[in-house]
């Protein structure tokens, strides 16, 4: 299966929230049926072994409706609260699950990354975490014993 790679200049950055056809577990790595928000934790240049074309792989954490996650499970996950979600291009409070089972590395391509229909004019990147949210992001990584390639931002 060939992919329709997005132009490299459109790739997201770490801490961006993007729209993804997140693969369902039962479908292996096939693009999922619905577009969901995901949080970018890594962006890596890659080369397609079949034809030598260059593309980017995006590693992301799955986001879900905060109301679908029990409050006791909010610890060690990034919770985007009532007063924060709209600034990030989200339509409701969201939890980004930081366990490895909710992380995937996907090619930056049209098959996996496209905006929700109701925000199509806003583009692929919904928003980006602010400094305080980035600090929480790193706290989630640290609490789970995960490593991250760059240090947490300093808080003034």
Q: How confident is the model at residue 98, as a pLDDT?
A: 86
Mean pLDDT by runs of 10 across the 156 residues of the chain is 86 95 85 92 90 90 85 84 89 88 92 78 85 91 75 52
Per the CB < 8 A criterion, the answer to whether 38 and 22 are in contact is: yes
Q: What is the pLDDT of residue 154?
A: 52
Q: What is the pLDDT of residue 1?
A: 54
Predicted pLDDT of residue 128 = 95
- Smallest CA-to-CA distance from 13 within 33, 39, 49, 50 is with 39
Would you state the CATH architecture of domain 8-129?
Answer: Roll (2.30)
CA distances, 71 to each of 13, 66, 110, 122 (Å):
29, 8, 34, 31
């Amino acid at each position: 299966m060939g992919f329709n790679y997005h132009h490299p200049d459109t790739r997201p950055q770490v801490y961006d929230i993007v729209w993804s056809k997140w693969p369902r577990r039962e479908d292996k790595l096939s693009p999922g049926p619905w577009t969901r928000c995901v949080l970018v934790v890594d962006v890596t240049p890659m080369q397609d072994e079949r034809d030598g074309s260059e593309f980017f792989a995006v590693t992301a954490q799955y986001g879900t409706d905060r109301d679908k996650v029990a409050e006791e499970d909010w610890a060690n996950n990034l919770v985007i609260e009532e007063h924060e979600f709209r600034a990030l291009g989200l339509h409701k409070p969201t939890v980004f699950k930081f366990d490895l089972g909710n992380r995937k590395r996907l090619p930056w391509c049209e098959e996996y990354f496209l905006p929700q229909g109701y925000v199509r004019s806003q583009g692929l990147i919904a928003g980006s975490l602010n400094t305080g949210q980035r600090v929480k992001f790193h706290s989630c990584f640290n609490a789970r014993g995960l490593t991250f390639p760059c240090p947490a931002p300093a808080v003034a």
